[in-house]
Structure 1
Amino acid sequence: MTDAPPFTPLPDNAAYVGAVQLAVDANAAYYGAGESPLDDDAYDRLFRGIQAYEAEHPDEVLPDSPTGKVAGGAVVGDVPHTVPMLSLDNVFSAEQLARWIAGLERRLGRPVQAYSVEPKLDGLAISARYHGGKLVQLVTRGDGTAGEDVSHGIGTIVGLPLELAEPVTVEIRGEVLMTSEQFDAACAKRQAHDGTTFANPRSASAGTLRAKDRPYTCELTFFGYSALPLPPDDASELAIRLRELPHSEIMELVAALGVATTAATPVAGIVVSTVEQIQERVEELKAARAELPFGIDGIVIKADSAADQVEAGFGTRVPRWAIAYKLPATEKITKLLDVEWGVGRTGIIAPRAVLEPVELDGSRVTYATLHNPADIARRGLKLGDSVMVYKAGDVIPRVEAPVVHLRTGDESEIPIPEVCPNCGSEIDRSQERWRCVKGRGCRAVASVLYAAGRDQLDIETLAESRIVQMLEAGLIVDFADLFTLTREQILDLDRMGETSTDKLLAAIEQAKTRPLSRVFCALGVRGTGRSMSRRMARHFATMDAILAADSEGIQAVEGMGPEKATLMLAELVELLPLIDKLRAAGVNMTEPGVTPPAPGAAAGVTAGAATGAEAGAGAAGGGDGDGDGDAEVPGAEGAPIPAVELPLTGKTVVVTGSMTGKLADLTRNEMNELIEQAGGKSSSSVSAKTSLLVAGEKAGSKRTKAESLGVEVITPDEFATVVAAFL
């Protein structure tokens, strides 16, 4: 991140005057109906451009300029604030943050006692006033001095209780926003009524909070970030505590009253004492950002001590003891130029948005996902639309929605394909995700290449060009045919000598021995990836048991709902010829170390597991499905064999950071397989249910959260010792 944030240069007074008017209009639109012509990043750049011009031309500053006003000059309300509701100044880099901290400590004449570090929530600031523990009024920030009464929203905001845990009189300030789930529901309601969707959760929250006449109600979420005495000169015990407690303890008090705070989220506020610790937490929150169910656009750093805050004081529009470390934008408005239609390895037809290039979260975005034709229809997208595009971290960019109020009338309908874009065959439109009627046959190269991949059958040396040769020569039509190839057939291919042929044949032979979890994954069942394939294999133990299961039996697998189970059953019927070819070729159809349900048992009964040594010897183990290892299953001769508890039985394990030592060469998928072979459950996120965190090099926010929750944290070497029998 550069030290100087980018801004929109203003070359002369005319440009400056126009920029101020644009900023004023954008604020009025956003704080009115929630429909600004600018995205958040574009407004920030404009605002900084105005600041830069005013710094060079102080005699030309306009009275309407947003730079000297709270919230840039938001719509003024008629409800006075008990205490001014100010904005925060921004920094954009570690260097700027260090300078701000140094400036604060110079102002105090001593080091700051401690800093509170919290997420900057991407929503709308409001004040919630409680009298005798009952919520009586909601007020927006407005211009910082007075705000708009939005008490009609009482009862529609999750996290803002109608009654506190104690009958106190207090003002809670915080942020109103929409979670991803709430935003999707709001868009569906809006489209059902007027055919349009909200541009993004932030504008949806702003518009919804003020809406009084809508024929539908949209749910919002609140997170508190401060509490004040009500009235300001209140002399009650609570008021005295609110004036004297550190910010971090005030937030504990707010949570104890029953108001939601970020303490229960992956980005909880923490207290630190050094610049290095602040920057470390900033990096952790940046890393967690993409996985959050709500938006954050920065990190707020505050002097935690009430005494430090009082001594530092306030400026005209910002407190001097707090700063917002802004993160790169994850959302921007750009143009939808075209829609391209591709076909995946299973024959799924997927649209892709072609965009006017835009910089998002540090990368240049030209394409974004559109999911399927139904998604296009739901969002009401048109070619030429201004669209809101989202991207964070490694998340694939996606088109959120059209910015309907920016339409010019020149937009046009998106052409929908009548036949398969790849082969010209008919399209199966029975599901939301359309599919070529030829299925996997439409993209045979991609299907075979996927099956041969490292996390599936792991057939080394089988490159895409070789697969194309085999398909064109008629040697294969699917990946099962690889197992019946002869040495002579392969030698006849271009640029295949004896050594390379023997290596490929050896790799194919080795692929026959892969566990069922990998074979099942290689089938490429729609909606079923590596994790679900492992769960299926550990649950059923054999391909025969999977094929014999009904919908209820499939749903007994964790993560399998009725819709997924129905789709899987239909897929398995389609894949039966391929499975039969694999079986005939001698490909393994069992999961080592797992015992299938006894004959006549319900298909949904979870299989038990044997130790790695027993699995290798072909011995049977068993369990009753809950992982406690106290069940017995029939042995080869019908006698019961006690189940053996595995080292990770009943434990949920999360892996983070770079692995070292004996685990250094394992992919994350192979680590997950290792966890499950040892009886555990692999997970990608830390929660109160996590039993163990394996923290490698550069472990970040997950380690911090695990430690805060009291989760056991071990090194890769320590974990290697625990699962030594499975390495």
Structure 2
Amino acid sequence: MTTPAAVIVDAAAYARAVEDAVGAAAAYYTGGTSPLDDDAYDRLVRGIADWEADHPDQVLPGSPTGKVAGGAVEGDVPHTVPMLSLDNVFSAEEFTAWTAALARRTGRDTTRFSVGPKLDGLAIAARYNGGRLTRLITRGDGTAGEDVSHAIGTVEGLPERLAEPVTLEVRGEVLMTAAQFEYANEVRTGHGGQPFANPRNAAAGTLRAKERVYTVPMTFFGYGLLPLPDTDRALAERLDELAHSELMDLAAGLGVHTSARTAVPDTVAETPEQVLDRVKEIAAVRAELPFGIDGIVVKADLAADRRAAGSGSRAPRWAVAYKLPAVEKITRLLEVEWNVGRTGIIAPRAVLEPVVIDGSTITYATLHNPADITRRDLRLGDHVMVHRAGDVIPRVEAPVAHLRTGEERPIEFPGHCPRCGSDIDTGEERWRCAQGRNCHLVASLAYAAGRDQLDIEGLGTTRVVQLVDAGLVADLADLFALRRDQLLALERMGETSTDNLLAAIERAKAQPLSRVLCALGVRGTGRSMSRRIARHFATMDHIRAADTDAMQQVEGIGAEKAPSIVAELAELAPLIDKLAAAGVTMTEPGAVPPAAEAAPDGRSGAGAPAEDGPLAGMTVVVTGAMTGSLEKLSRNEMNELVERAGGRSSSSVSRRTTLVVAGEGAGAKRAKAEQLGIRLAAPDEFAALVAGLLA
């Protein structure tokens, strides 16, 4: 969808818009902050451009439409070749119009395109002399930039020495990955500073910082190579003649980090239609990337086409940025709500001034935990940066501290559980009601009875409320002690519904250990983790006997998660004893206890996929709606099926994935599998693979 332009009604509004846009650009390019988010800035600049198109005789000399991005910044290091920014398109129609203009300039009906992610960071030029990195320069006003060579050695992917002793310039983008951004904010707030609003601002501010008492990592992605005055003549001629795709291969060979090692590598497209297909593929996996992108860069790949197209004063005519809808917006934090989850976790939720992000109106966002609120120094009334990508729950990134007016108020933390009034356990970052899951007994029991846990048909939330209100159940084990006469005494419980419910409860006793463990709702575990733990230890006794070190032997459980799992299992001991006494299964079919087998790496063989199953040694991701014989299986049951067949189920596609089962409506995960060359299987093909287990 095309980003709408800001409406400018007269010359005075135009002048204010130019002032606002230039000021926002200056704030970002000097300190990494801005009063406008990307979407607001794009709308403002498009409005300015529309006004100027209708009033060409009134264009102000300071207009951002005639400047390279970052042009408000003065630089003292001249660029040997202007470091231009890119023009934007916001729709397939605008892109098609751009390709038509490119064809007119090159004299070719079709050309070859290089297509890759538009990284959301700060453009820099890295100069190498004899293979050694000697200077880093920002884009500045496009003709000269700032010297930020003090950052040499702090940017991952930008080697201090190339693989060959060549003299040339590498151009690219410095950014922070999601993990680097989180670490940067922890370090920055730990030293008394304000948290960064987002990774882009963090990278811009960090790159320029000269006298900080701490350093934080950043990442570089190269997107261009060009000769310097001292470059060997043969190499200079070669750089001028290589296609862009070949230049990127050369950069990677020299040791420069490029998009080639990501899930969205630059690719070559032969037609505009192929470019648009690639745009859709990259957009589909955007939410899963470990770094931010705000669009897709499309370039004429061949050197001859680039020369024929030429460049304007602010942007090349042979390249364009296909902008994607914004995933971040600035809005105001109005209130904080405190909700209690089924395990007693007390979670803060931000109430926001409504804001539209990527087509959805956002009024609530996650705030993680009280420690996160304190670390980010959030206050009621703050302007905050809100992030949403794909189906990910919106989250508050940080306050936009420079927009504070002084009227913001501290966020009050609850002194007692907001649900039941009990004390609060504040010993961990995630606060918890002292009553634990008993604080929210109805939600806890309804969850345990769910299809992917004990699968007790007929025991929905309404029925659980009845049982709790009648005093018949005080914990999960009490379900298995229910009598027929007790149920018949309840309202709307006839003989048939009573007998059906008792039969479903009896069947639940035979559910495997993995489902029982999941039903307990141990913090830090879920359906897949419960299966891993059950398959690793084989019996509940072995699980309960495991200490922190033993628990860390389970794949996916690290030093941070293991202690809380062990502690909560100890806390649940009386309930587990009651469940075992009631006849609930405490073993995992087919799993081998840890002491019975040891793997070469020191991990026990328990929980390893079966060596003789049809999916032995395979990592399988299931996505989309299943059909045919798989249609009635839940996603959890599909994952269980994968593991019974000897495979390992996973929720995300990576280079370690062996097979992706793609049903109807499979989107981002299918696209990523295609990009990585991972085998795809339709539901009927997968059903044939595991036919012997579908009885």
Please report the TM-score for the alignment, with normalisation by the length of structure 1.
0.91
Q: Is contact 1:8–1:48 with CA below 8 Å preserved after alignment? A: yes
Alignment-mate amino acid for residue 620 of structure 2: V
What SS does the aligned partner of 1:127 have?
strand
Of 255, 275, 280, the match for 1:283 = 280
How far residue 585 of structure 1 moved from its aligned partner, in angstroms, is 2.0
How far residue 495 of structure 1 moved from its aligned partner, in angstroms, is 2.0
Q: Is contact 1:195–1:380 with CA below 8 Å preserved after alignment? A: no
Of 664, 667, 686, the match for 2:631 = 664
Alpha-carbon distance between aligned partners in 1 of 2:579 and 2:127, rounded to the nearest angstrom: 68
Between 461-470 and 276-285, report the one with greater CA deviation. 276-285
Would the alpha carbon gap of residues 103 and 511 (structure 1) be closer, same or farther in structure 2, given more than 3 Å must change?
farther
Superposed CA offset, 1:585-609 (max 9, x none): 222222122232457999x863558
Alpha-carbon distance between aligned partners in 1 of 2:220 and 2:72, rounded to the nearest angstrom: 20
How far residue 702 of structure 1 moved from its aligned partner, in angstroms, is 4.2
How far residue 41 of structure 1 moved from its aligned partner, in angstroms, is 1.5
Alignment partner, residue 397 of structure 1: 394
Superposed CA offset, 1:44-78 (max 9, x none): 11111111221222222111111111116331212
Alignment partner, residue 42 of structure 2: 44
Alignment partner, residue 124 of structure 2: 126
Mapping 1:646-657, distance limit 5 Å: 646-657=613-624
Superposed CA offset, 1:286-319 (max 9, x none): 2211121111011111121222222222222111
Mapping 1:70-469, distance limit 5 Å: 70-71=68-69, 73-231=71-229, 236-469=233-466
Superposed CA offset, 1:337-395 (max 9, x none): 11111111111111111111111122111111111111111111111111111111111
Alignment partner, residue 5 of structure 1: 3
Would the alpha carbon gap of residues 29 and 605 (structure 1) be closer, same or farther in structure 2, given more than 3 Å must change?
closer
What SS does the aligned partner of 1:465 have?
helix
Of 613, 629, 648, the match for 1:681 = 648
How far residue 269 of structure 1 moved from its aligned partner, in angstroms, is 1.2
Superposed CA offset, 1:640-691 (max 9, x none): xxxxx22222222223344333223333332222111112112233333222
Superposed CA offset, 1:172-198 (max 9, x none): 111000111211222122212234211
Q: Is contact 1:112–1:308 with CA below 8 Å preserved after alignment? A: no
Alignment-mate amino acid for residue 125 of structure 1: A
Q: Is contact 1:457–1:518 with CA below 8 Å preserved after alignment? A: yes
Q: Which structure 2 residue ranges, 5 or more long, are not aligned?
A: none
Superposed CA offset, 1:609-643 (max 9, x none): 8xxxxxxxxxxxxxxx5x684xxxxxxxxxxxxxx
Alpha-carbon distance between aligned partners in 1 of 2:516 and 2:536, rounded to the nearest angstrom: 15
What percent identity do the matched residue pairs reach? 67
Superposed CA offset, 1:407-434 (max 9, x none): 1111111111111100111111111111
Alignment partner, residue 494 of structure 2: 497
Alpha-carbon distance between aligned partners in 1 of 2:308 and 2:32, rounded to the nearest angstrom: 37
In the alignment, does 2:589 pair up with 1:592? yes
Alignment-mate amino acid for residue 235 of structure 2: L
Of 563, 566, 585, the match for 2:563 = 566
Would the alpha carbon gap of residues 53 and 347 (structure 1) be closer, same or farther in structure 2, given more than 3 Å must change?
same
Superposed CA offset, 1:513-569 (max 9, x none): 221111110100011111110101111111122112222221111111233221111
Alignment-mate amino acid for residue 665 of structure 1: K
Alpha-carbon distance between aligned partners in 1 of 2:196 and 2:123, rounded to the nearest angstrom: 19
Would the alpha carbon gap of residues 257 and 704 (structure 1) be closer, same or farther in structure 2, given more than 3 Å must change?
farther
Alpha-carbon distance between aligned partners in 1 of 2:598 and 2:86, rounded to the nearest angstrom: 63
What SS does the aligned partner of 2:615 have?
coil
Alignment-mate amino acid for residue 640 of structure 2: E
Q: Is contact 1:456–1:521 with CA below 8 Å preserved after alignment? A: yes
Q: Is contact 2:449–2:460 with CA below 8 Å preserved after alignment? A: no
Alpha-carbon distance between aligned partners in 1 of 2:272 and 2:650, rounded to the nearest angstrom: 32
Would the alpha carbon gap of residues 286 and 667 (structure 1) be closer, same or farther in structure 2, given more than 3 Å must change?
farther
Alignment-mate amino acid for residue 445 of structure 2: V
Alpha-carbon distance between aligned partners in 1 of 2:121 and 2:305, rounded to the nearest angstrom: 27
Considering only aligned residues, what root-mean-square deviation do their CA atoms show, in Å? 2.1
Alpha-carbon distance between aligned partners in 2 of 1:45 and 1:534, rounded to the nearest angstrom: 49
Alignment partner, residue 660 of structure 2: 693
Alpha-carbon distance between aligned partners in 2 of 1:51 and 1:263, rounded to the nearest angstrom: 35
Alpha-carbon distance between aligned partners in 2 of 1:708 and 1:395, rounded to the nearest angstrom: 22
Alpha-carbon distance between aligned partners in 2 of 1:657 and 1:242, rounded to the nearest angstrom: 45
Q: Is contact 1:594–1:607 with CA below 8 Å preserved after alignment? A: no
What SS does the aligned partner of 1:214 have?
coil
Alignment-mate amino acid for residue 726 of structure 1: L
Alignment partner, residue 604 of structure 2: 606
Alpha-carbon distance between aligned partners in 2 of 1:480 and 1:323, rounded to the nearest angstrom: 63
Q: Is contact 2:610–2:645 with CA below 8 Å preserved after alignment? A: no
Q: Is contact 1:515–1:589 with CA below 8 Å preserved after alignment? A: yes
In the alignment, does 2:693 pair up with 1:716? no
Q: Is contact 1:130–1:136 with CA below 8 Å preserved after alignment? A: yes
Between 687-696 and 321-330, report the one with greater CA deviation. 687-696
Please report the TM-score for the alignment, with normalisation by the length of structure 2.
0.95
What SS does the aligned partner of 2:195 have?
coil
Of 685, 692, 695, the match for 1:725 = 692
Would the alpha carbon gap of residues 62 and 156 (structure 1) be closer, same or farther in structure 2, given more than 3 Å must change?
same
Would the alpha carbon gap of residues 253 and 454 (structure 1) be closer, same or farther in structure 2, given more than 3 Å must change?
same
What SS does the aligned partner of 2:379 have?
coil
Between 13-22 and 100-109, report the one with greater CA deviation. 100-109
Alignment partner, residue 53 of structure 1: 51
Alpha-carbon distance between aligned partners in 2 of 1:601 and 1:167, rounded to the nearest angstrom: 49
Q: Is contact 1:186–1:218 with CA below 8 Å preserved after alignment? A: yes
Alignment partner, residue 546 of structure 1: 543
What SS does the aligned partner of 1:185 have?
helix
Q: Is contact 2:281–2:672 with CA below 8 Å preserved after alignment? A: no
Q: Is contact 2:75–2:145 with CA below 8 Å preserved after alignment? A: yes
Alignment partner, residue 20 of structure 2: 22
Would the alpha carbon gap of residues 454 and 237 (structure 1) be closer, same or farther in structure 2, given more than 3 Å must change?
farther
What SS does the aligned partner of 2:353 have?
strand
Alpha-carbon distance between aligned partners in 1 of 2:354 and 2:594, rounded to the nearest angstrom: 55
Alignment-mate amino acid for residue 128 of structure 1: A
Between 305-314 and 409-418, report the one with greater CA deviation. 305-314
How far residue 120 of structure 1 moved from its aligned partner, in angstroms, is 0.5
Alignment-mate amino acid for residue 171 of structure 1: E
Alpha-carbon distance between aligned partners in 1 of 2:591 and 2:517, rounded to the nearest angstrom: 15
Q: Which structure 1 residue ranges, 5 or more long, are not aligned?
A: 610-624, 630-644
What SS does the aligned partner of 1:186 have?
helix
Between 567-576 and 505-514, report the one with greater CA deviation. 505-514
Alpha-carbon distance between aligned partners in 1 of 2:355 and 2:597, rounded to the nearest angstrom: 59
How far residue 705 of structure 1 moved from its aligned partner, in angstroms, is 4.6
Aligned residues: 692
Would the alpha carbon gap of residues 509 and 373 (structure 1) be closer, same or farther in structure 2, given more than 3 Å must change?
same
What SS does the aligned partner of 2:51 have?
helix
Alignment partner, residue 637 of structure 1: none
